[in-house]
Structures are given as C-alpha cells and as structure tokens.
Structure 1
Amino acid sequence: MTAAPTIQAPRLGEPYLLTPGPLTTSFPVKQAMLRDWGSWDDDFRAMTQEMRDRLLAMLGAGADAFDCVPMQGSGSFSVEAMLGSFVPRDGKALVLANGAYGQRSAQTLAYLGRDYVLMDKGDYLPPRGDEVARILADDPAITHVVAIHCETSSGILNPVEEISEVVYGAGRKLLVDSMSAFGAIDLKVADVRYEAMVSSANKCIEGVPGFGFIIARKTELEAAKGNSHSLSLDVHAQWAHMNKTGQWRFTPPTHVVAAFLEALRAHEVEGGVAGRGARYRRNRDVMVDGMRALGFETLLKDRWLSPIIVTFFCPADPNFDFARFYELMKAKGFIIYPGKLTVVDSFRIGCIGQMDEHIMRQVVTAAKESLAAMGVSDATPPALALQERAKLAA
C-alpha cells in the first residue's frame, strides 16, 4: 500500500505558494540544500545518474528507448534547448498555442531562425486533432508539432494523446512542453507517442528552481548532433558528455539537484505519478467546489480543468479589487496568481506543491473572509465573463 504523504506547513511567516511553480516545498527538500557538493565528485555523479534513472522510470514500458538530459537554467532554457536541438535548421514546426507558453515557443523558434507556423486558439480553447490534421495535410513542409501539455495561462489540460495520434498518422514528429504537468499527469510512452518532452525541477516533482530536463528518444538525441544554435543549450552535446563522464558540461546547480533527488524519492513514496496526481486532483476539486459555493466561477468547464492551476473570474461587485484581495489572502498565508485574460478580469489558484485538501479548505475560508473584509457579499462574475465562457464552450 502507498504511504500517505506527509504535508508540512511552511515555517512561521512563510506563506503557501498557490502558483504553478515555484511552489511550496517540504522541509526535507529544503534541508537537502544545506550541504555543499563537488560537481566532479563521484557522489554527485551518482546523484545525477539516480535522478536521470528515476525520471526515465516515469515513462513506463518503452522507457529504454529514451534518455534524460538535465539542463541548467529555468524551464524556458530547456524548452529552447529542445526546440533548437530537435527541430533541424531546415525543418518547420507547427506550434499549437492556446496561451502564453505556446506563444513563447513560437517566439523562441523565431529567435532561433527556425521556420514555423502558429495555430493560435486564442487563450483558452484546446487544439483538437482534426484541426491539426488539416494543417498538416495542407503543409507538407511541417516536420514537427509542438504542443503544450498543460497551459497554465488558463489552467487548461490539452489533449496530447489525441494530438499525437494525428501527428504520427501524418508522418510527423511531436515535441511536448510538459513543464507544468509531468510528474502528476501520465505521459507514458506506451500511451502517447512523442520524440521529446521537457519539464522542470520546480513543478509537480516539488523541487526548487534551477534546472529543467529533456527526455528524448535516443535516436533523436543521436540525430541532433550539430543542430543546436547554442553552445550551452546543445542537448546532444550535454547528453554525450554526461554519458561519457557522468558530469554536466558546465557548473551544475548542485544544491538544486540534491533537493530534486529528495523530491523524487518523496514522489515515489507518495505513489508516483498516480499518487501525486490524485492529491492534486483532490486539491482542485475541494478548492473549486468551495470557491463556487462563494459565487466564484471558473473560466473553464470541468472537462478541461487541469489539476495544476485554476482560473477564476473576478467578481462583478464594485467593491472587489484584486490588488486588495491579493494582499488580504497573503496576510492569511496564501499567495495567489494574477490572471491573464484580456477580455475580463481574472485570477488563478494553483493546486500543486506541499498542500492537501485540508489546506485547500483553508484557502476557501481565507477567500470568504477576504471578500467580507472588502464588503463583497457575492463573488458572482459579470455577465460578460459568462458570455465569454459560453463562446469558449461553443
């Protein structure tokens, strides 16, 4: 039987981070950073190898065809490394965008001088397989499709399995940005075919910021030699050096790796992807039910709600002011996230990190008390927000 996770309150005065990463981490993860490590030392090389092995194990059956390449920097560094290494200089990518992170991939490709076409679904509709199939049929020059697993601009969980089927049905290759989903939502290679995916230390594994990682087919890693535009972001070079020496090519974030390895061990104890995902889904369901009881409405219908982060419309009540709401929530120990909607005002609440359903009930209570402090009796959104959601669902 899987052990129940031990959720630890932040230290006195330290708020919960209700964001999609960085997030609230456990004491053991923090404590792992209290020691210094030599990047060349055999102990640290063993830590790096254990980390890579544990990440690959999450892919399930077929993982032996893949390898894991950690990359220094924020998650966006690893996304750029993936795109610059696996999209050939004479290739062309179709970027599926429905929020800021799809747009960022397109911007990255533009910086890299890679040809691409953008399918922009606005901010909050999922790209669907039939739409992707039509674009691929009309443009034989497209070699790769770039999909965002969970678009945290809205909290939407995109249908990557459906997208993968049409991509490979058309003889193309899929690259997945699973930055905010990997570790809590399955991306097993027996279920979803892709050439490479990318994620980060400070998301659903519950580590701290400092590096990301690319998991790719070994055949793609071999073929990537010479593709990269960058010395430091060359995935093939990092992979080849790491497999030859056990070391990172350049100074690794040693303390962050130690923390991440501790987080990976806790992830396994919790039940792996299934256990972590179940806790996050329960967090979401308890929090959403409670917020709806106060009158708040979610941007997305339940079908598309991810267990990572949820977007809520701001109330129509003229007494509601997000800046004050934010400060009131922070004073109660919860840091929430601004929204990114362009038509109506919104905010977001994350479901990931060292939190469980009991903490989420406290979040709802804090929201209720904050509304009362502002003189807001009902959190119902303006009619325009509901009209916008109706259009999105159409």
Structure 2
Amino acid sequence: MSKRISRHQILLCPGPVNVTPAVRRAVAGPDLCHREPEFSALLTGTRRKLLAAFGVAKTHTVAIVSGSGTAALETAVLASVGPGRTLLVVDNGVYGDRMIRIAAIAKIPVARFASPLLAPVALDRLERAIRRDARIETVAVVHHETSTGILNPVAAIARMARRHGKQVLVDAISSIGAEPVPLAAIDLCVGSAGKCLHGYPGLSFVLVAKRCAPRLAGRPARSFYLDLRTLLDSQEGGAPPFTPAVPLIQAFDAALDELRREGLPTRIRRYRARAALLRRGFDRLGLEPLAPRALQGHTLTALMLPPGVRYEALHDAMKRAGYVIYAGQSRFHGTMFRIAHLGALTTSDLTGVLRALARSLPRGRR
C-alpha cells in the first residue's frame, strides 16, 4: 500500500502549488457532463475571466488546454509558423531548449539563438539573427526560465521582433500572474493554471492575439489533440472538442475569482514582496544565488548548495519540517537547489521556510 500524505506540506517547487480552501473546494464541485449547458457556461465564463484578468478581452482570445503547461506550449509551437517558414527560439535554459525539441519532433525548421545561461540576452546580436534569415516567421522566448530563475527581457524582444514583421511566441508558464507580461506585443502567450494563477496542475492555456487569425487559418494542423485552431473554434462556440479536465476548470474558475478580487497589480506586488523577504533571509543565511540579482524574476530563487551540503540530505531535512524544495536541473543538478515562491503562501509560511532552512542546512552536511 502506498504511503499516504497525512499532513499539510508547503510546496516550494515551481508547480504544483499550494491552493486556497476555496479552490480546493471547487475542484470537488458537482459532477458535470462537458456536453451540457452547465459546463458550456462554466467554460465560457472561465475564458472570459481569464481574458478580463489581463485586460485583453478586446484584443485576444484564449484556448484552454487539458494538460500541463507543456501541452499548451506544444499547442502554440505547432501553430507558430506556416509551411516552409522558420521558428527562431531564444535558448538560454532548459525551457528554451524544450521549445526547440517540440519543434524538431514536428519537423518545424528552427533557428536556435544560443544565449549564455546566466547573462542578459544580447539584443543587438539577436536583432542581427532576425534580420539575417527572411524565412523566420516567429520569434519564441521563455519569459521566466525556471531552470535558473532568470527573467528574460520579453518586452524588448517582442518590440524588436514586431519591428521586423515577426510574430512573437512567449512561454509565460511560470511568470504570468506574477510578472508584468506585455501581451499587446505578444501573438501567442502560453500560461498554466497551476503556477502563479494558483490553480491546479493539468490545465493550461494559450492567449492568442486576434490579429493572428488570418495566419492561423492558413497553417496546417500538426496534431489532432493539440491543434490550436480546433481548440479555439470549438471553445468560442462554448463546447470543447474533446473531454476536458472538468474539475480543474472548476478550480481554475475559482482561482480567477480570487485574482479578480485581489487585482493583478496587487498580485504582482505581492510576489515582489515575497521574493524580497525570502532573499533577505537567504542573504542572512549566507546562501549564494545562482544568477545575478538584477536578472532574477520574482517567482523562484535558485541557490548554490553550500560546500559540503548534499541536496538529498537538505531536501529530506526540509521535508521532515514540512517544506518541499526543488533540485537543480541539467548542468546545475547537484550543485544548486531552487525555492519557488508560488501559490497561496502566507508571510508565516515564508518565515517558516527561513527557520526550517537555518535548521536543515547543518543536517545537509551529514
């Protein structure tokens, strides 16, 4: 028999996140058939709330995807370019590389713009790369690179791309709801219910600028399930093309109600305050950030493991105290760890993180 989780844990991973009691109640709401008017009203309302939350109801539409953020990302990548055109991807981490891998599997031509992992994107060099290849139709970039905690200059990149007549695709999975996202300049913006919007994992979305409609209509379907045009056409009519994750949509609807009551600017300020509180504490504990502070976002902090501290031992000590931290990825595996500050966390939760770290770091050396 599997071991049951018998006590509340504070999740410091970049999704899933802790949710409020109201969102938890909503996921256990009434059973709904997705072909009945009750669900159609729910889906239509959730889509409207999502567009309203970001002030884009007049300029954008949205496709809700039953799947993790990667499912919505794949949906957007597959719709990003027409036949014979190229997708340029800014690659400075695990999630930039993920877009390249998605495109490669779909046999979409990709121009990889390699950028150092822990340095600013060289905008002048990127502009030269965009100008050099007339086949480039869309420029793609990760907003918050979760593998390092770097926040890429999406606004500047989007302005540059549009100046050269390119579409813009942004992976905002771990930033939307916590960082300002320049949606007016973005054609395809990917997000997740289960990160900074405080819903559950397994539900994601693509915000689509209405100006994209003519281009999308001329692009081939590259997937049966993850076809953006199919999702948009059906959802705009109030019906999903396939059986969706009904309970997750119920929970997301409740989470969007909470965001509306709080207000997006207040939510963004709350994330900045969280990051500042935790980072002051990390400094007091002598923990070194992986990335320069000026490049960091406000949803996650990547920290170097102190000499002699093993990640597994630190993780286990923190988990015994009720806090779940996250390992480093790729080349940073075993040398750093990550603490995400997403979801329904209180100031008491955050100060508890710092107390638990102070106790757990010495145990990580054993």
TM (norm. structure 2) is: 0.94
Q: Which residue of 2 aligns with 1:221?
A: 213
Check whether the contact 1:99–1:124 (CA below 8 A) recurs between aligned residues: no
- More displaced 10-residue stretch of structure 1: 158-167 or 134-143: 134-143
Question: What pairs up with 1:322-341 in 2 under 5 angstroms?
Answer: 322-340=311-329
The alpha carbon displacement at 1:27 in A equals 1.2
Unaligned runs of 5+ residues in structure 2 are none
| Pairwise CA distance, 1:374 | 4.5
Contact 1:128 1:159 in 2 (8 A): no
Deviations 1:323-370 (A, max 9, x none): 111000001110000012626700000011111332111101100011
Tell me the distance in 2 between the aligned counterparts of 1:373 and 1:229: 50
Aligned to 2:52: 57
Q: Give, in angstroms, the shift of residue 218 of structure 1.
A: 2.2
Letter in 2 for 1:302: R
The yes-or-no answer on 1:348 pairing with 2:338 is yes
- Equivalent residue number for residue 287 of structure 1: 278
**Residues 132 and 166, structure 1, Cα contact 8 Å, conserved in 2:** no
Residue number among 278, 288, 297 corresponding to 2:288 in the alignment: 297
Partner amino acid, structure 2, of 1:260:
F
Q: Deviations over 1:13-61 (max 9, x none)?
A: 121110111111111111112221111221211111111111112332x
Distance 1:223 1:375, change over 3 A: closer
Quick check: 1:280–1:356 contact (8 Å CA) kept in 2?
no
- Aligned 8 A contact 2:8 2:322 in 1: yes
SS at match of 2:139: strand
Task: Please state if 1:270 is matched with 2:270.
Answer: no
Which runs of no fewer than 5 residues in structure 1 stay unpaired?
Answer: 1-10, 377-394
Q: Is 1:73 matched with 2:67?
A: yes
Residue 110 (structure 2) pairs with residue 116 (structure 1): yes
Deviation at residue 279 of structure 1 after TM alignment = 1.6
Alignment of structure 1 residues 144-223 onto 2, 5 Å: 144-190=138-184, 193-223=185-215
Instruction: Give the CA deviation at 1:227.
Output: 1.9
The residue matched to 2:58 in structure 1 has which SS? helix
Indicate the residue corresponding to 2:132 in structure 1. Answer: 138
Question: Which residue number corresponds to residue 357 of structure 1?
Answer: 347
1-structure distance, mates of 2:207, 2:85: 20
| 2:33 paired with 1:38 | yes
Normalising by structure 1, we get a TM-score of 0.87
Identity %: 28
2-side partners of 1:209 and 1:201: how far apart?
6
Deviation at 1:375, TM superposition (A): 5.8
CA distance in 1 between partners of 2:222 and 2:295 (Å): 36
Aligned residue pair count: 359
CA contact (8 A) 2:76 2:190 kept: yes
Q: Is the 8 A contact 1:145 1:175 kept in 2?
A: yes
Q: What's the C-alpha RMSD, in Å, of the aligned pairs?
A: 1.7
SS at match of 1:285: helix
